[in-house]
Structure 1
Amino acid sequence: MTEQSVRLWGARFRTSPSPELIALSRSESSYFRLVRYDLTSSMAHARELVRAGILTAAEADEVCATLETIGADYEAGRIKPSPSDEDIHTFLERILGERVGILGGKLRAGRSRNDQAANDLKLYLRDVARHIGSDILNLQNALVEQAEAHITTLTTGFTHLQPAQPVSFAHQLLAHAQTFARDLDRLRDWDKRAARSPLGAAALAGSAIALQPELSARELGYDAPCENSIDAVGSRDHVAEFLFVMAMFGVHLSRLAEELFLWSSRQFRWIEMDDGYATGSSIMPQKKNCDIAELTRGRASRLIGSLTTMLVALKGLAFAYNRDLAEDKHAAFDTIDALTLVVPAMAGLIRTMRVNADIMRRQSVEGFTLATEVADWLAKSGVPFSEAHEITGALVRYCEDKSIGLEDLSDADLAAVDERLLPSIKMSLSPQAAIEARKAYGGTAPDRVREQIARLKSVLDGQKEWLSSYAGPRAER
């Protein structure tokens, strides 16, 4: 084939493109991960061309068989793009033409790189959403496994990063699991809107040849074609929404990472990381660093940046295809590559960490975390809460002056602060009593935590079913 025929757009030009244009226009190497999706779409389009009378059934079979071979050769490394291949579509059409001659050129009828590009990425995102979803599910399962082992493990709950009230450590872990469950539900919800095929929209006005896009849509695992051909090729809100879901997930990962730093520090000593999920220092032999969490926190910034990139790229575009939209792949791939690495590592870190329950128990009453128990006890005894709050504050000051904790108060100490502080209040001044008292739905009482775990497991079962039910083209990582 000539250089002119390798390019898909050069017929009306009198001169070849400049080296600078070629360098700027050529797809990044990472974009060629979409090869298998472009091949799958091309096979669906070949069958559409049979319905349109452009290809015979025998010709379509030959084209599809050749495309299958091209896919196998590409995955095996036997073929690769050349410097003259502007993008995936140019590369694959060149190889197809080399193998089946002019028959390969017929495949271009009735479609455009515009609907091909939109379709390839959408297929990829719908597929990879299941891979990322599976990793999120594994992370949730790791949190649930640790939570089940620590339903009655007492620890400190914080507000403003100051000791607040005793909680079950399982309850703290499940707070993170609940956010990840919503992230995966957001991904499922995104997929409902992404299940529309752009194939058949052609450049922007629809195709005069591919007249039954609903058939190729079903073949590719979509629910239906896009309703509007301009919207099909010119919109990338499905990419921006995917990036938002991933950025939100990244923020939630970063919050978990932040707590892991604290919990594993010598000041907290709540957890000890497994050696296989920690690193050391090149100069300080004693160090055991929570690098997985640090790298996760750093990657979260890139996820937010990718979302911002996509939104800014979209905000000023006239509504049809523009080359600005090629930023969709760069943003999506960077996000996917980051999460593919960090989520399994975080799941392994959570699953293998060892919890120092005795240290947690001792710390659970530090910082007067039982003060709310005093105020609640007074309120339930008929004292207005505003007054109970003042009495409790005075009691805390008394303890500070004597360098004791609330749990160390004697009957005389209580009476010295306020005569309404009866000895029976001591029954409430333990971390066990504090968490048992929080027995409302969603509270930290052990029975409520067990119920929360059971409900969450049911949610995870539904998510697992969604992950396994996708019938579209499958990706390999």
Structure 2
Amino acid sequence: MSEPIERLWGGRFKAEPSEALQALSRSDPSFFRLAPYDLAGSRAHARELNRAGILNGGELQQLLDAMTQIEADFSAGAIEPSQADEDVHTFLERVLTQRLPALGGKLRAGRSRNDQAANDLRLYLRAEARKLALAVLDLQRALIEQAQAHVHSVTVGFTHLQPAQPVVFAHPLLAHAQSIYRDLDRLIDWDRRTSRSPLGAAALAGSAICMQPELSATELGYDAPCENSIDAVASRDHVAEFVFIASMLAVNLSRLSEEVILWTSRQFRWVELDDAYATGSSIMPQKKNPDIAELTRGKAGRLIGNLSGLLATLKSLPLAYNRDLAEDKIAAFDCIDTLRLVLPAMAGMIRTMRANADEMRRQAPLGFTLATEVADWLALAGVPFSEAHEITGELVRACEAKGIELGDVSAGMLADVDARLAPDVLAHVALDAAVTARCGFGGTAPARVSEQIARLQSAIDKQAAWAADYRGPAC
């Protein structure tokens, strides 16, 4: 015999919902992770009903005690949703009314599943944002640790994936760290906009019973209630923005992954991965594959798809609430679950990888990466840069004809190319001189890179303080 169906609606219907409707309408199993947040909102709502005179002090305490026990039972796996529970709200009200038959039904007064659903997801995302931040910060610290070890390790920087100019290896590592820093900064800024409580909005028009939503907002760690009750239940731009930030983070992780894949290749030989963070081949015994980087790169496309799908869902939805909005959780949960897997693996891979500084230095001057030093020297000597560019190009062509690099050029060869190429230029056509010369703010000079590391460490310490200073419900 099937379980009796308990719904939060149905009084005006004569017929039972069809099996097809029930199957479509029932929440995805992943949605029930919101149970602790639904209970947190219910506790705040119960206090509001007490202020409204619907619950007396004794009733309030009974409800609060019952909900505390329900949360403990759910966490322990002692209770779980049944097939008859349409959603998390139905599930928890069913359990509550089983335990407090006369009192449990009072809790529904003055609220709707519309503001409950909006509140549950906001609370969940704000809490998960902090957990996500801690995982991002661990990756950031791994990048900084590697950068600190390679402030003086000279390698080659690329444009168009062609050798361009010498840089210290710390510099590209920090370039990735800077982009990821901005992702976390976006998350902090997102939280400021999301710190508005939808409780009290009810279905759409506000509640005639719950008249002090600002108190519930404070209890739940929000800054204030939403300004407009329709907007509170109808809008999901904060979810779309969260998914965008997650997608942008995934894109930046994908770019870092691509670099690691290149660095670990036989052609580059810049980096060797720790055995614990690499895999082998089922047929080729010699292989050591950067699977973490490849899997991360692949999952970026998945998160981009989540964002595209959610934006398409939100497009043209009329006010106020529509069931289409249930798709918001599918996108958000998948982003969170994916990043939970990716970030620790990436942090471990970066922290344990070993860079081959000697090999990077050997490759650094290849492909005439020091050519800009010649052009800059000429420009500083008073030669118009347009001419300096041409002269340097002729020098490169002469080197190619002889099969040598710029570091092998003789004083006589310089004079043959152009009389203005004095032997003094040879002191500048050197790796350490090239990177040291880039000593402007943000440049690759070791002293500047060390300053950048110090600033970035200070900046991420502030982000860590934000992650630790959450005043919302401890679910």
Q: The TM-score by the shorter chain falls in which range?
A: over 0.9
Residue 267 (1) aligns with residue 234 (2): no
Residue 24 (1) aligns with residue 40 (2): no
Distance in 1 (alpha carbons) for counterparts of 2:231 and 2:46: 24
Deviation at 1:309, TM superposition (A): 1.2
| Corresponding residue SS for 1:107 | helix
| Corresponding residue SS for 1:163 | strand
Deviation at 1:4, TM superposition (A): 7.4
Question: 2:197 is matched by which residue type in structure 1?
Answer: S
| Corresponding residue SS for 1:463 | helix
Residue in structure 2 matched with residue 168 of structure 1 by the alignment: 168
Residue in structure 2 matched with residue 402 of structure 1 by the alignment: 402
Deviation at 1:254, TM superposition (A): 0.5
Distance in 2 (alpha carbons) for counterparts of 1:362 and 1:341: 36
Distance in 2 (alpha carbons) for counterparts of 1:82 and 1:435: 65
Residue 137 (1) aligns with residue 137 (2): yes
Residue in structure 2 matched with residue 438 of structure 1 by the alignment: 438
Contact 2:46 2:60 survives alignment (8 Å): yes
Residue in structure 2 matched with residue 301 of structure 1 by the alignment: 301
Distance in 1 (alpha carbons) for counterparts of 2:246 and 2:72: 31
Question: 1:362 is matched by which residue type in structure 2?
Answer: R
Residue 121 (1) aligns with residue 121 (2): yes
Residue in structure 2 matched with residue 413 of structure 1 by the alignment: 413
Residue 369 (1) aligns with residue 378 (2): no
Residue in structure 2 matched with residue 282 of structure 1 by the alignment: 282
Equivalences for residues 336-415 of structure 1 within 5 A? 336-415=336-415
Residue in structure 2 matched with residue 448 of structure 1 by the alignment: 448
| Corresponding residue SS for 1:280 | coil
1:180-210 superposed Cα distances (whole Å, 9 cap, x missing partner): 1111110000000000000110000000111
Matched residues, percent identical?
Answer: 67
Distance in 1 (alpha carbons) for counterparts of 2:163 and 2:103: 73
1:291-342 superposed Cα distances (whole Å, 9 cap, x missing partner): 0011101111111111111111111100100000000000000000000000
Residue in structure 2 matched with residue 69 of structure 1 by the alignment: 69
Contact 1:4 1:10 survives alignment (8 Å): no
1:145-184 superposed Cα distances (whole Å, 9 cap, x missing partner): 1101100000000000000000010011000010111111
1:77-122 superposed Cα distances (whole Å, 9 cap, x missing partner): 1111111100000000000011011200000000000000000000
Residue in structure 1 matched with residue 468 of structure 2 by the alignment: 468
Contact 2:214 2:225 survives alignment (8 Å): yes
Distance in 2 (alpha carbons) for counterparts of 1:405 and 1:158: 18
| Corresponding residue SS for 1:96 | helix
| Corresponding residue SS for 2:157 | strand
Residue 251 (1) aligns with residue 279 (2): no
Aligned residues: 474
Residue in structure 1 matched with residue 224 of structure 2 by the alignment: 224
Distance in 1 (alpha carbons) for counterparts of 2:64 and 2:302: 39
Deviation at 1:408, TM superposition (A): 0.5
1:123-162 superposed Cα distances (whole Å, 9 cap, x missing partner): 0000000000111111111101110110000000000000
| Corresponding residue SS for 1:34 | helix
Contact 1:48 1:216 survives alignment (8 Å): yes
Distance in 2 (alpha carbons) for counterparts of 1:442 and 1:454: 12
Distance in 2 (alpha carbons) for counterparts of 1:54 and 1:286: 73
Distance in 1 (alpha carbons) for counterparts of 2:60 and 2:297: 50
Bigger Cα displacement from structure 2, 112-121 vs 69-78: 69-78
Distance in 2 (alpha carbons) for counterparts of 1:80 and 1:247: 32
Residue in structure 1 matched with residue 291 of structure 2 by the alignment: 291
Equivalences for residues 311-330 of structure 1 within 5 A? 311-330=311-330
TM-score under structure 2 normalisation?
Answer: 0.99
1:333-378 superposed Cα distances (whole Å, 9 cap, x missing partner): 0000000000111011000000100000000001100000000001
Residue in structure 1 matched with residue 210 of structure 2 by the alignment: 210
Distance in 2 (alpha carbons) for counterparts of 1:269 and 1:300: 26
Residue in structure 2 matched with residue 91 of structure 1 by the alignment: 91
Question: 2:166 is matched by which residue type in structure 1?
Answer: P
Question: 1:56 is matched by which residue type in structure 2?
Answer: N
Distance in 2 (alpha carbons) for counterparts of 1:271 and 1:300: 23
Question: 2:260 is matched by which residue type in structure 1?
Answer: L
Q: Please, what is the CA RMSD of the aligned residues? A: 1.0
Runs of 4+ in 1 over 6 A off after TM superposition: 2-5
TM-score under structure 1 normalisation?
Answer: 0.98
Contact 2:5 2:85 survives alignment (8 Å): no
Deviation at 1:474, TM superposition (A): 2.9
Distance in 2 (alpha carbons) for counterparts of 1:359 and 1:380: 32
Distance in 2 (alpha carbons) for counterparts of 1:3 and 1:421: 91
| Corresponding residue SS for 1:6 | coil
| Corresponding residue SS for 2:108 | coil
Unpaired runs of 5+ in structure 1? none
| Corresponding residue SS for 1:337 | helix
Distance in 2 (alpha carbons) for counterparts of 1:5 and 1:248: 42
Deviation at 1:461, TM superposition (A): 1.1
Distance in 1 (alpha carbons) for counterparts of 2:312 and 2:57: 45
Contact 2:442 2:449 survives alignment (8 Å): yes
Question: 1:80 is matched by which residue type in structure 2?
Answer: E
Question: 2:282 is matched by which residue type in structure 1?
Answer: S
1:7-56 superposed Cα distances (whole Å, 9 cap, x missing partner): 00111100100000000000000000000000111011001000011111
Deviation at 1:5, TM superposition (A): 7.3
